[in-house]
A and B are shown apart, each in its own frame.
Chain A
Amino acid sequence: MSSLLQYTLRIADSSLILGQRMSEWCAKGPTLEEDIALSNIALDLFGQANGFYEYAAELDGEKSADDLAFLRNEREFFNHQIVELENGHFGDTIVRNFLHDGFNFLFYTELAKSKDETLAALAAKSIKEVKYHLRHTSNWLIRLGDGTEESNPKVQTSLNNIWQFTGELFEMDEIDNELLSAGIAVDNASIKSEWDNIVNKTLKKAKLSRPEDGYMATGGKKGMHTEHLGFLLAEMQFLQRAHPNAKW
């Protein structure tokens, strides 16, 4: 697999898996308005995933976008681990997404400058949506953190639990470095300080404290996942697996 293909798949996979998680909220939101917002975000993420998979399919030359989404196993998925975490309660979902949205916003802003024109165009399209996602999760984090005596400690616990999955977002491996020197990839390490700013500013408004950096999980980009992903894929892929030659 070429580096560019793997790089593109990583982006597509993170969007798809987070979209899948968000779509699980359908008909479960705390209000009807929020149900619509969560579905809306899921839909944006599936749209982004679709765009990057189509490019990946082009780079692959044999598989279709749907083949890539529905016929790879968990060791062949390259999403960040944070996006595969289960939804938990609403606060868990907001924290998980906020941390990832902040990264995504900065990542796409940089990727829009990529020398690879397709990646740049897909990123430029995604920024508008991710901006909305970040605004949504930031506002909710503040509401929940600076809400009631029940909601503040609840969401602080979410933050403490999920924090270990943020380290991976800023890692650079040989694929990233190779494509960075070609002017294609984003320097993830370089967006960390701006991400820190966004996170610190929001946490302050939310009256939440930033957890210490302890053990940081890693491996998603190389196909090493948490135990959650296998179940997610089993559910997502079952029709394609059960009816290999069917068109839908």
Chain B
Amino acid sequence: MNETIFQKRIDAEKKIEPKDWMPDGYRKHLIRQISQHAHSEVIGMQPEGNWISRAPTLRAKMILLAKVQDEAGHGLYLYSACETLGISREELIQQLHDEKAKYSSIFNYPTLSWADMGAIGWLVDGAAIVNQVSLQRTSYGPYSRGMIKICKEESFHQRQGYEIMAQMASGTAKQKEMAQDALNRFWWPSIMMFGPHDADSPRTGNAIKWKIKRQTNDELRQSFIDKTVEQAEVIGLEIPDPDLKWNEERGHYDFGEMDWEEFWNVVNGNGPCNKQRLAHHKKAHDDGAWVRDAAKAHAKKPKIAATN
């Protein structure tokens, strides 16, 4: 009975809220998806954080730092959304450390030059936006509202990343080489951010029926590629895909096959930076334990007004 009422609400495009009844599978799917999303924001701070101390100008430094700070904020926001489903942030972080919870495969690739800051902003945030814009209409209210909030900042980041790429692509020969190299390295990993082909996507399950997902992996991927190919042309960079060509009939770009072996390797912990990213997160968490303990102990003591 509950199930029928629930599905009626979904079909009528009414948002599900934390206190509403929901199928167990719906709750579990959302916890997995939202926490993975939150972890991605937090782990995603590392590849970009890697370049803050080496950013080439004061302006670039400030923009990058503000961006990484936004990501931490997005992480917080998403952890909160996830907590409305009855799980704590501590449990979610534990799942991440136990490798039970995943984060986006893209953050397991290293950032090897300043141009990677451009590539990440332009491609990775670009792919995230396509996905998140679609999720603004997701059926779970707190998640949907989170996406609406986050998308605004994310679009800004993407423009900034594209600006870095454009600047470098029109700069010195060395800069242009760095920009093209960054595009070469981040193109396929970005395409893979949308996940497996629809036919090989075992976890999709009821996600479409429950309107958690509003578009399939392949639909989202196509829309990202169509948008991005033209942006690359504008700044004179070449997409590293010999099979890429406009298909008049479909009204879309055709593109080559992704390296799925690499994809599954990275997803399953065997990418270039998987171990490093997780170890970094654990170390920060462990190093901070005495600080969190002190804060907790102090909070329990009788209050004295803070100095200023």
Chains A and B are bound partners: yes
Interface residues of A (CB under 8 A from B): 16, 20, 23-24, 26-36, 39-40, 42-43, 46-47, 49-50, 53, 65-66, 69-70, 89-91, 131, 134-135, 138-139, 142-144, 146-148, 150-151, 154, 198, 201-202, 205, 235-236, 238-240, 243, 245-248
Instruction: Identify which of residues 17-55 in chain B touch chain A, using a CB-to-CB cut-off of 8 Å.
Output: 42, 45-46, 49, 52-55
Contact of A27 among B174, B280, B291 (CB under 8 A): B280
* Contact status B68-A148, CB under 8 Å: no
Instruction: Identify which of residues 58-97 in chain B touch chain A, using a CB-to-CB cut-off of 8 Å.
Output: 58-62, 65-66, 68-69, 72-73, 75-76, 79
* Contact status A66-B58, CB under 8 Å: yes
Q: Which residues of A contact B55 (CB under 8 A)?
A: 239
Q: Which residues of B contact A240 (CB under 8 A)?
A: 56-57
Interface centre among A32, A151, A235 (most CB of B within 10 A): A32
Overall SS of chain B's interface: helix
Interface centre among A26, A53, A89, A138 (most CB of B within 10 A): A26
* Contact status A147-B298, CB under 8 Å: yes
- Annotate B287-308 by CB proximity to A: 1 below 8 A, 0 otherwise: 1111111110111010010111
**Cβ-closest chain A residue relative to B66:** A43
Interface presence of B284 (CB below 8 A): yes
Q: Which residues of B contact A139 (CB under 8 A)?
A: 306-307
Give complex CA distance A43, B69 in Å. 9
Give complex CA distance A34, B75 in Å. 13
* Contact status B284-A28, CB under 8 Å: yes
**Cβ-closest chain A residue relative to B289:** A30
| 11 examples of A-B residue contacts, CB within 8 angstroms | A27-B42, A27-B45, A27-B284, A39-B68, A49-B58, A53-B58, A65-B58, A143-B299, A146-B301, A148-B294, A248-B60
Interface presence of B272 (CB below 8 A): no
Give complex CA distance A90, B292 in Å. 11
Give complex CA distance A194, B240 in Å. 62
Interface presence of B247 (CB below 8 A): no
Contact of B171 among A31, A32, A247 (CB under 8 A): A247
